Structure 1
Amino acid sequence: MPQGIYTQLTACYVPTCTPGTSDCYSTCCPNRKVKMRVFDESETDTSSQKVPKIQRHMSINSSLASRDTTNSQAWSATVSREILEITPKDEIKRQESIHELIYSEEDYLRDLNLLEDLFAKPLSEAQCIEPDRRAEFCKKAFANHLELIAIHKELCQDLRDHQTLCQSKGGAGFVDRIGHVFVKHIHKFMDPYVKYGPQVILAEDLVKSEVNTNILFKNFIHEKEKQAETRKLSFNHFHFRPIARLQRYILLIGTVQKATKPDSPDAKDLDECIKAIQKVASFMDEGVGQMKKKLRIRKINERIIQETGQLGADGKPHDFELLDPNRRLIHEGILLRRTNFVTDPIEMHLFLFDHMLIITKIKKPSSSSGDQTSSNAHEFYYLHKKPIPLELLVLQDSSSSLIRGILPTPTLSATPLSFPKSSSPAAQNGSNILPQNGFFSQTSITIQRLGNDNEETTLYDNKTGDLAIWSGKLMNAKSDLEERKKESQPYETEVLNDINFSCSSSMGSKYNHGKVTCSVPYAATSGKRMVAIGTQTGVWIGASGSTSFRKVLSLLDVTQIDVLEQHRVLLVLAEKVVYGYPLDTLDTGSQNKPVERVPQRISQHVAYFSTGVIKGKTLLIVMKRKGMDSHFKAFEPVCGDLRDPKNAKFLTTKSSFLSKPPAWFKLFKEFYIGADSSAIHFLNARLMIVCIRGFEIINLDDLRENRNLPDLKNPEFDFVVQHGEYIQPLGMFKCSTEDYLLCYDRFAFKVDVRGKFSNQNYERIEWEGTPQSVAFDYPNIIAFNSRFIEIRDVNTGKLVQVVVGDNMRSLQFKKPSYSKRPLVHGTMQAPFKPEIQSVFQLTLKASPSES
C-alpha cells in the first residue's frame, strides 16, 4: 500500500500551475519551493538543514530523470530578496522569461531523449513487431528524431553554459542576453523540422493502425506509458512534441523580446530568431497540411468499396489513381439524392479530386461486430456509380446563376460544360420547379458522365449556398485540369471551316449544302495545302485555314472522296457511283456557278471504296454488296500524272458518237468474302477487310491464303464471343513489328503477328463511350463518339485526351504528301454556332526535337 507522496518528485496538482508560477495556492508546490540541499547519508556534514536524498527505482538511465526543480522554479526564487527589491520590474520580467526559455529547452530535450530511450530504442529490439519489417517500421514511426536530439543537445548545452557564465560574472543570477545563442543554432532547424513535421503525421497513422491490429504492440506502448518518466503522458505527447515546441519558441522568444529594450544588443538577435523560426514553422505547417491531405486521400482510397457489379470488364476493381503522389482532394461533402418524392432522400458523399469526381454512399460497420466499437469504427464509402473523369463530366440543369457566370469560354480543344435549353420562364431565370418539402430547397444539379450509358445523377441540398459552391468547385476543377493538361495533351484542334455549312435550311439556300460527309487533305501543284469537303449536294475545295471554300462539283449524296496525288485524280463516290476528276482543273470556273465537267465513271453500285499502296502498286478498291456477301474489284491507275502532256489523251472528251475517252483505271483483280464488310485497310503486303465476323486478311497474290482475325475458337478470345452479334469491328492497325491493335466499338486489344492474344502492358482498352469510328496515328488511337473524342496511347492503353462537342463525326484520316503523319478530320456542331457544321483537324503537336 502507498506510504506517502514525495511532492518534490511529482508535478503540482493545481491544474493552472506551471513552472515559474509564484502565486500557487499549494503549500508544497514543487514549482515554487526554495532550493534545498540534497546529500548522501555518507556525508559528514552536521548541518541541521540536511535533507536525506530520496531514492527511487529508475526504469531507465538516470539521465532521463524527471525535471530538476532548481531549473523549473521561477527565476525570482533563485535570487535573494535584497536583489529583487532593487531590481526593476521590467528586468525581473525579462529574467523570468529568459529563465523559462532555458529550463523549458532542457525539458524539451528530456522529452526527446525519452522518445529515443523509452520508445524508439526498445522497439527496435522488441518482439512485438516482426523482424522482417521492424527496422522499416521504426524508421517510419520515429522519422528523423535523432537529428532533432543532436541539434537541441548542442543548443541546450550552450544555453546552460552562457547562463553559468553570466551568473559567475555578476553573482546575482542575471543573464545579460540570450538571442545570440539561438542565432548560432537556428539555421540548423529548417531541414530537420520541415522533414519531421509531415513524417510524424504519417507516423501517427502508422502507429494507430498497428495498435488496432497488433495487440502485442498495443501492450508495448501501454507499458511504456506507465513508466514514471512519462509523467502519465501518452506516446503521442512525445511524438508531437517537436511540432508543439517549434510553435512555442515564437511565444517564448517573443516574451523575451517584449521585455528587452529596443537599443539592447539582444533586440536584433531576438528579432532575427523569431523571423527564422516563423519561416521554419511556416514551411513545416505547409508540409504538415499537405501530408494530412495525402493521408486523407489514402484513407479514402482504402475505404471505397466497389461491389461486384461495379468491377471492370476484367473482374478487377477500378484503379482510381488516388495514390498518385501529385493527387489533390479539392472538395468533399454530402448532397442528397432522391429516387422519388415519397421516401426520404439518400445522403451521397461526394469526393472531388483534381482528375475525377467519385459519388459514394456512406456506411458504418456495426459497433457490435467483433471487438470494434463506435469510437474506432471507420466510415466506408460504397461506390454509387462509376467514377467520373473530369474530362467526361457535364454539369446540367443547374439552378445557380453563379454557374453561368463562371462558365469558361468553350473551344474545340476545351471541355465545356453544357446546359439544356428550355423555353420555360423557370429555366430562363435559372431555377427549377421542385416540390416543396422539408428535405431540400428548390435547387439541384444534374451531373452527367459522358460515355456508354450517359449516366445522370441529380443531387439536391437543404443548405443554402452548397450547390453553388459545388458547381463552382466542379467547373474550376475542370478548367484547372484543362490548363494543366494543355501542354501534355498530344493534339490540338485546327478549324478548317466553320462558316460555309449549316446544320439546317434555316439559314437559307446560300448555306443549305446538306450534311458534311467526307473530306480529304492534299497538296496543290503550287505546294499549297488544300482541303476538299464533300456534302450531300456536292464538293467544296479551299485552302487549309482559309475563311471560305468554293463549290467545284454539284453532285447529290456525296459519301466519300479521296485524292491520288501522284496521278492528280480526285475520286468521288456519289449516289453509289465512283467518279474520277482531274484535280488541277477543279480550281477554274466561276465563284458562284461551278463548271460542269465530264467525269471518268469508274464503277457503279459501290458501297464504299479505298485507296492505298501494296508492294509499290497503287490500287483503288471498290466494294459492292450482293446479298450478305461483299464483292471487291481492285483497279490500277493507268492514266499516269494528268499534268504530264504525254497523258493529255486522258483529258479529252469523246469526239464522236462511237468513240470513248480512254479509261483511267484498269481492272487488276476481283475477289469476295462471305460477310458484310464496312472498310478496307492497306497493310504492307496485304489487305485487311473489316467485316461483321472480325478482320479478314487478304493476300492478293494468293487468295487461298486468306485468314480471319481473331481466331474465335481460341479460348483467349472468349470475351469477344460473349458479345456475339452486338459487337461491331471498327479497324485493325499495325502498332509495331510485333503486334496489331484490333478495335471494336466496345473495346480494343492486341494480337501478335501470329494472331495470338497479346496482353503486354494491358489486357485491353475499355472505351469510355461507344465509338462509331476510329482513326490511327501511332502511338495514338482516336475514337469518335457523338459527344466526345477519346484519344488513347496504344502502348499503355491510358486515356491521354478528351475533346468534347456535339454531333461529332469522323470524316477521314489520311497522310497527304506534305505531311509525315496522317491528318485526322472530323466535324461537329460549332461552339456558340449551333446552326453551323464545323470541320476541324486534329494535329499532333510538334515534339521539342521536331520544333
Structure 2
Amino acid sequence: MDEVFGNILDLRECNRHFLEMINSQQREQGVIALRIGGIFLNAATEFRPAYTAYICQLAAAEKRSQEEMENSGEFRFTAFLEQSLWHPDNANKKDLKHWLNRPLEHLRMYLVFFEEIRLATTEGDPDIDSLKGAIKTVINLLSVPKLKAFQQAMGKGPTGKYEWRSLVPEDVRSGISKQVAKRQAIIFELIQGEMDYVKDLENIEYMYVRPLRSMDPPIIPRDRLESFIRDVFCNSGELHAHHKRLLDQLFKIQREEHPFIRSITAPMHDAVLAFRDAYLKHVPNYPIAAYRIDDEMANNPQFKAFVDRCVRHVDAHKMDMKSFIVRPVYRLLRYELLLRGLLEETSAGHEDLDTIPAVLDVIKGLGKETEPGVWSAKQKVELWRYNANLVFKAGEYIDMDLLHENRSLIHTGKFLRQPDTGFEWNGWTELFVLLFDNYLVMTKSKEKDGITKYQVYRRPIPLDLLTLATFTDPPTRRGGGLLPFGGSNKREVDSQAQNATSPAAGTSPEAVNDGRVVYPCTIHHNGRSGGLYTLFAETSQARLEWKAKLEEAIGLRKVVQESNKVFEVETLSVDTFYAPTLLANAGPSWNNDGNFTGKVTCSVPFSTPDGHALVAIGCAEGVWIGFRHDTRSMRRVLHLRMVTQCAMLEDFGIFLLLADKSLFAYQIEALVPSSPGAAKASRTPQKLSGNKDVQFFTVGNLGGRTLVIYTKKKNLDSVFRVLEPVIGKINEKSKPQPSRFGLRSQRSEWFRVYRDFFLPSDSYDLLFLKARIVILCSKGFEILDLSDFKSVTIPQREDPRLERLARRAESCRPMGMFRSNKDEFLLCYDEFGLYVDKHGDPSRPMGTVEWEGTAERVAWHPPYVLLFDSRFIEIRHVETGRLVQVISGNDMRCIWDGRGTNHAQAISEGAWEPRVHGVMNVEPAQPGKRGVTTQHVFELIPTVPLFLPGSLASPSNASYFNQSNSPPHSPKLNPAYSIR
C-alpha cells in the first residue's frame, strides 16, 4: 500500500485546506475570490512537501503495481482492479494508473488556471505578483520528478547528465533573457560538478581503500599498508564529509527554487571556510601520493594489476588512481572558474556582485597557502627518488638516512673531475653532485629506460667532516694549464683570484665564451678515506653558487646538530694535565702545581662511602684523583710511571692499576680516606702479576663471581690468568715483609687464582658476557666458556660465500661486540662494523657499516656506539649503524669505555649517567708554556634517554645489559652451543 499509494491521503488534506481557504474568502468577498494567487501561495507551504514526496515516488508506484499485476497468484490483484472499474463512483471506467496520476494532472490544471487568471488580471492589481509566484511554484512542482531523478543519479546514467535546459519547459525558457539562462546554467553546472566530485570521493573509499584493507592475502604487506593508505589517500574521507554537506545544501536550494535559483554564494562561502584546513593538508600531499603510487606499481605487480582493474570499473570513467587523488586540486580550480563566470552573468544590483568576490578571495588565498607545502612535498619526493636511484658499489653502501622526515635536498649540479693521469680532454669525468642537509654525494648519472640512476663515485662525505679549502683559484682550461689571461702578469692574475667574489672574477673576456674553461673548487674530507678533492665548475657563477650552498648546508648542519646532539661534552679537567708537543724537545711537562703529568691514558669514576663522586685519572707519570664536577680539585695520589689502565672494585674497596706492564692493587681508603680511621689504611699495594709482561686486564662478573683477568704474551700465545678477590683477606691488616733493603710489599693475598688458560694468537681485549667471555684477537671474536674452555670464533670464515668478508676481517682489528636487537649483534672492527645473527653469520644484505675514521677505541653507551678516531668521535646508533653525531677535536682518545668497575650502574629512565670519558689536546690557556700541550679531560653526558626499543628497554633485563657493565649477550652459534 505504501509503495503504491504513498502519501496520497496527505494530498487530500492539502487540497481540502486549499478549498476551505477559497470558500472562506468567497464568503468574505462575495461570489468572486479576488486574491486566488495569494491564497495558493499560502497553501503552498503544505502543497510543496506533500506533492514533492508524492510525485517523486509516482514512477516507482506505477512500476510496483505493474509488477504485482504480472506476478499476483491466480490473478487475484488483476481481478480486484477489474472489479474496481465497475465501482459506482468510477463512472468513466478509469484504471489504477489514471487515479495514481490524478494529482499530477491536477497540478497541470492549476498552471493553466493561474495563467488564464493572470492574463485576465489588470496590471497593477495587488494579486498579480501572487499569481506569478503561484505559477512559478506549480512549475517547480511539475519539474520535481526530473529534478529528483537528477539529484538521485549522482552523475550516473542519462538522468545524471541532464542540463538546466533539460529540466525547464520551453515556454519558460523562451520568456527569460540569455543572461538569466546562462547564469542558471552555470549554477546548475556547479551543482552537477559537485555531485560528480562527491561521487568520486566516495569511490576512493569503495574502489580502493576498503578493497586494499580487506584483501587476504594483502597485496601490500600489512606492516606498511596503513602508512601507504595514509600517504596516498591522506584525508579524502574528511573532504568527502565537507563536500557532502555542501551538496546537501545545494540540493535543498535547488529543490526549493528551481528553475530560477537566486544565489548559491552563501553555502559556498561557508563551505570554503569549513574545508580550508582539510585542503591545506590534502593538496600538498599530492606529490607524495603520486610518488607512492608510482613506486608501488613499479615494485609490486599485484598492486599494478589491482590498479588496472580499478581503471576498468564502471564508476571510474577510465580514471586511474592518481586521477582520483588529484581531483581535489582540480576542483578548487573549477570553483574559481565557475564563480568568475557566474559573476560575469550577474545583473546590476544583485548581492552576488559583492559576495562572489569574497568567496573568490578565500579560494585564491587557499591556493597560495598550499604552495609552500606543495613545494616542500615536491622536494621530499625528489629526495626520495634520488634515494631510490642511488647505486653503490658492492660492499660500499652507506645509510645516509635520506628517508628521514626532516631530510632536505639543498642543491644539485654538475661538476667535472680532472683525470688522475693529467689534463687529457677525453679523460675528464662529469659528475652529478647532490648536496643533502647531512651528506655531500658525488655520482655519475646514467639513464636507462627513462630512469636515471646515480652511481656513487666517491664515498659520501658527512657535512660534519667537510670543510671548504679554496674556491678562489684561477680558472683552468681542459686540455691545458692555467689560463694566460690575455698576457696579464702574475700580479694581475693574483688580483683576479683575490676578487673572485664576482661572477666573472679571475676570468679574461675570452675565457667567458671558452667552453673548455673550468673553475676549481677544493674541499676537504676529514675522514679515513678522505683528503682534498678538487672539482671543477663550468662557470664562475656556478662556482659561487656552490660555495654559497655548501656554506649554507654546513652552517645549517652545525645548528641542527647542536640542537639535536645525543651527547654533551662535560669537562672533568682543563688545566691539570700537560704533555710535550711533538715539536718540543724531550722534557718534562708541568701542571699548575709544577708536577709532571705526561700523557693521560686512562680514567675511572667511583664514589666514596660517604657519597662523594670522584674520578681517578692515570697518566704517564702517576695517578690523579679529584671531584668529578670540580675541574681544579685534581691531586696526584700515586707516583708511578707508565700508567696505562685502571679499574675500581668498589664492592671490595680495591683500586687496580696497570703501570709499566705490572698489575697492582691498592686499597681505595688508603688513597682517598673517607674517615679519620680510614687514613691508617696501608698505602702498600699488592702486586698481582709477575714480571713486567702484562698486556692488559679486564674486570667483570661471571656466574655471580667478580673476576679480574689479565693477559701476558708468551711467544706466539696469549696467556690469561683469572683472579678472584678474597674479601676476608682484603679486610685484614697487611704486614710488610722485611728484606735486605727494608720493607717490601707482600705477595698478593687479596686475590686467589681462579683459572689459567691460553689462546694461540695475539689478543687485544676481553669482554664479559653473562656466562662466557669474548676475547678480541687476531682471529676475530673468540667466545670462551671458562668452565670447560670450549670456544668458537665468529664471524665464520669457512663459508666460501664470505671469503671477501673474511679477508677484510683479517686485515682489520676487532674492537667490540654489542647487541643491536634481541637476535642480532654488531661486531666492531677498527674500520667497519658487521651485523651478525645468533650463529655468527652476516645478517644484513648491505654488508658492512664503514666507519668515517679509524677506530682506535670503541665505547658502548646504549643504544649508541662511540668510535674514537684521533681527529673526532663518531657516534652511531647500534640498531641502524647511522651516524648521529660527530665530536671533533685534536688527538682524541677514549680513556674510559664504561667498563673497569664491578659496581652495578643500572641504566634507568631519568638517570642518564655518563659511561664514557675522553681526552683531547688543546692549546695551553696560560702564556709561557712553550712546547706544552694542554690535555682536556672530559666525559660524555647523554642528552636523551638511551634505551633500545621493545623488551630491551627494561633496565631489569639482565640478558640485555648485565651487572658487570660489559657488552651484552654473545650470539648463539649453533644449537649445541649456547652463548650466555
TM over 0.5: yes
Q: Is 1:397 matched with 2:469?
A: yes
8 Å Cα contact 1:361/1:383 also seen in 2: yes
Within 5 Å, which residues of 2 pair with 1:122-137? none
2:458 matched to which residue of 1?
385
User: What CA distance in whole angstroms lies between the structure 2 residues aligned with 1:684 and 1:161?
Assistant: 80
Residue 782 of structure 1 and its aligned partner are, at CA, apart by 3.0
Residue 352 of structure 1 and its aligned partner are, at CA, apart by 3.0
Change in 2 beyond 3 A, CA 1:60/1:118: farther
User: What CA distance in whole angstroms lies between the structure 2 residues aligned with 1:581 and 1:113?
Assistant: 83
Within 5 Å, which residues of 2 pair with 1:55-94? 61=158, 63-64=160-161
8 Å Cα contact 1:774/1:781 also seen in 2: yes
- State the one-letter code of the partner of 1:612: G
Residue 355 of structure 1 and its aligned partner are, at CA, apart by 4.2
1:744 matched to which residue of 2?
829
- State the one-letter code of the partner of 1:578: L
CA deviations over 1:355-403 (Å, ceiling 9, x no partner): 43332233345xxxxxx7xxxx454433222334445x412314489xx
User: What CA distance in whole angstroms lies between the structure 2 residues aligned with 1:400 and 1:471?
Assistant: 15
- Alignment counterpart, residue 468 of structure 1, candidates 536, 547, 550: 547
| Count of aligned pairs | 703
CA deviations over 1:61-97 (Å, ceiling 9, x no partner): 47547897999xxxxx99679xxxxxxxxxx9xx999
1:628 matched to which residue of 2?
716
8 Å Cα contact 1:151/1:188 also seen in 2: no
8 Å Cα contact 1:64/1:114 also seen in 2: no
Q: Is 1:333 matched with 2:413?
A: yes
Change in 2 beyond 3 A, CA 1:686/1:286: closer
Q: Is 1:289 matched with 2:371?
A: no
SS where residue 917 of structure 2 aligns? strand
Change in 2 beyond 3 A, CA 1:351/1:158: farther
- State the one-letter code of the partner of 1:812: W
8 Å Cα contact 2:670/2:683 also seen in 1: no
1:25 matched to which residue of 2?
none
Residue 449 of structure 1 and its aligned partner are, at CA, apart by 6.5
SS where residue 891 of structure 2 aligns? strand
Q: Is 1:781 matched with 2:873?
A: no
SS where residue 837 of structure 1 aligns? strand
8 Å Cα contact 2:204/2:324 also seen in 1: no
Q: Is 1:555 matched with 2:640?
A: yes
- Alignment counterpart, residue 542 of structure 1, candidates 619, 623, 626: 626
- State the one-letter code of the partner of 1:809: R
1:459 matched to which residue of 2?
535
2:442 matched to which residue of 1?
359
Change in 2 beyond 3 A, CA 1:701/1:435: farther
User: What CA distance in whole angstroms lies between the structure 2 residues aligned with 1:119 and 1:619?
Assistant: 67
Answer with 353-362 or 143-152: which moved more: 143-152
User: What CA distance in whole angstroms lies between the structure 2 residues aligned with 1:107 and 1:469?
Assistant: 53
- State the one-letter code of the partner of 2:446: K
User: What CA distance in whole angstroms lies between the structure 1 residues aligned with 2:606 and 2:469?
Assistant: 44
1:678 matched to which residue of 2?
764
Within 5 Å, which residues of 2 pair with 1:283-322? 284-306=370-392, 310-312=393-395, 321-322=401-402
- Alignment counterpart, residue 519 of structure 1, candidates 603, 612, 627: 603
Change in 2 beyond 3 A, CA 1:389/1:428: same
SS where residue 722 of structure 1 aligns? helix
1:510 matched to which residue of 2?
590
8 Å Cα contact 2:520/2:534 also seen in 1: no
8 Å Cα contact 1:828/1:837 also seen in 2: yes
User: What CA distance in whole angstroms lies between the structure 1 residues aligned with 2:294 and 2:376?
Assistant: 20
1:826 matched to which residue of 2?
918
8 Å Cα contact 2:648/2:900 also seen in 1: no
Residue 544 of structure 1 and its aligned partner are, at CA, apart by 0.8
2:36 matched to which residue of 1?
none
Answer with 201-210 or 527-536: which moved more: 201-210
Change in 2 beyond 3 A, CA 1:115/1:180: closer
User: What CA distance in whole angstroms lies between the structure 2 residues aligned with 1:290 and 1:148?
Assistant: 26
8 Å Cα contact 2:824/2:843 also seen in 1: no
- Alignment counterpart, residue 611 of structure 1, candidates 699, 705, 711: 699
- Alignment counterpart, residue 561 of structure 2, candidates 476, 482, 485: 482
Residue 523 of structure 1 and its aligned partner are, at CA, apart by 1.6
8 Å Cα contact 2:395/2:848 also seen in 1: no
Residue 535 of structure 1 and its aligned partner are, at CA, apart by 1.9
1:591 matched to which residue of 2?
none
Change in 2 beyond 3 A, CA 1:199/1:635: closer
Residue 446 of structure 1 and its aligned partner are, at CA, apart by 1.0
- State the one-letter code of the partner of 1:672: F
Answer with 353-362 or 825-834: which moved more: 825-834
User: What CA distance in whole angstroms lies between the structure 1 residues aligned with 2:409 and 2:622?
Assistant: 53
In the superposition, the TM-score normalised over structure 2's length comes to 0.58
- State the one-letter code of the partner of 1:458: T
Q: Is 1:837 matched with 2:935?
A: yes
1:570 matched to which residue of 2?
655
User: What CA distance in whole angstroms lies between the structure 1 residues aligned with 2:207 and 2:703?
Assistant: 76
Runs of 5+ unmatched residues, structure 1 = 1-58, 72-76, 82-91, 125-130, 168-174, 366-371, 402-423, 589-595
In the superposition, the TM-score normalised over structure 1's length comes to 0.65
SS where residue 555 of structure 1 aligns? coil
8 Å Cα contact 1:523/1:818 also seen in 2: no
CA deviations over 1:181-238 (Å, ceiling 9, x no partner): 4235435544664566356556767999999x999x99x999x9xxxx99xx999999
Answer with 772-781 or 318-327: which moved more: 318-327
SS where residue 300 of structure 1 aligns? helix
- Alignment counterpart, residue 329 of structure 2, candidates 225, 237, 243: 243
Residue 466 of structure 1 and its aligned partner are, at CA, apart by 0.2
SS where residue 546 of structure 2 aligns? helix
Residue 612 of structure 1 and its aligned partner are, at CA, apart by 3.3
CA deviations over 1:337-367 (Å, ceiling 9, x no partner): 43355538654333333443332233345xx
Within 5 Å, which residues of 2 pair with 1:23-422? 61=158, 63-64=160-161, 102=187, 105=190, 154=248, 157=251, 179-187=265-273, 189-190=275-276, 193-194=279-280, 197-198=283-284, 201=287, 243-244=329-330, 246-247=332-333, 249=335, 273-274=359-360, 276-278=362-364, 280-282=366-368, 284-306=370-392, 310-312=393-395, 321-323=401-403, 327-339=407-419, 341=423, 343=425, 346-365=429-448, 377-391=450-464, 393-399=465-471
Change in 2 beyond 3 A, CA 1:562/1:159: same
Change in 2 beyond 3 A, CA 1:791/1:188: same
User: What CA distance in whole angstroms lies between the structure 2 residues aligned with 1:655 and 1:286?
Assistant: 86
User: What CA distance in whole angstroms lies between the structure 2 residues aligned with 1:829 and 1:386?
Assistant: 29
Change in 2 beyond 3 A, CA 1:242/1:122: closer
8 Å Cα contact 2:618/2:644 also seen in 1: yes
- State the one-letter code of the partner of 1:727: C
8 Å Cα contact 1:735/1:741 also seen in 2: yes
- State the one-letter code of the partner of 2:639: S
User: What CA distance in whole angstroms lies between the structure 2 residues aligned with 1:556 and 1:697?
Assistant: 34
User: What CA distance in whole angstroms lies between the structure 2 residues aligned with 1:761 and 1:141?
Assistant: 32
User: What CA distance in whole angstroms lies between the structure 1 residues aligned with 2:647 and 2:576?
Assistant: 21
- Alignment counterpart, residue 691 of structure 1, candidates 777, 785, 792: 777
Higher helix proportion (structure 1 or 2): 2
User: What CA distance in whole angstroms lies between the structure 1 residues aligned with 2:821 and 2:311?
Assistant: 59
8 Å Cα contact 2:579/2:589 also seen in 1: no
Answer with 59-68 or 295-304: which moved more: 59-68
Larger Rg: 2
Residue 255 of structure 1 and its aligned partner are, at CA, apart by 9.6
User: What CA distance in whole angstroms lies between the structure 1 residues aligned with 2:707 and 2:328?
Assistant: 78
1:42 matched to which residue of 2?
none
CA deviations over 1:642-696 (Å, ceiling 9, x no partner): 6x6x52x35x585875764433445515433322222233344544432212344
* RMSD of aligned alpha carbons: 5.9
Change in 2 beyond 3 A, CA 1:576/1:425: farther
CA deviations over 1:437-496 (Å, ceiling 9, x no partner): 65667662415263x41265433432433023212332144135415644xx3x443222
Answer with 575-584 or 830-839: which moved more: 830-839
Answer with 619-628 or 187-196: which moved more: 187-196
SS where residue 471 of structure 1 aligns? helix
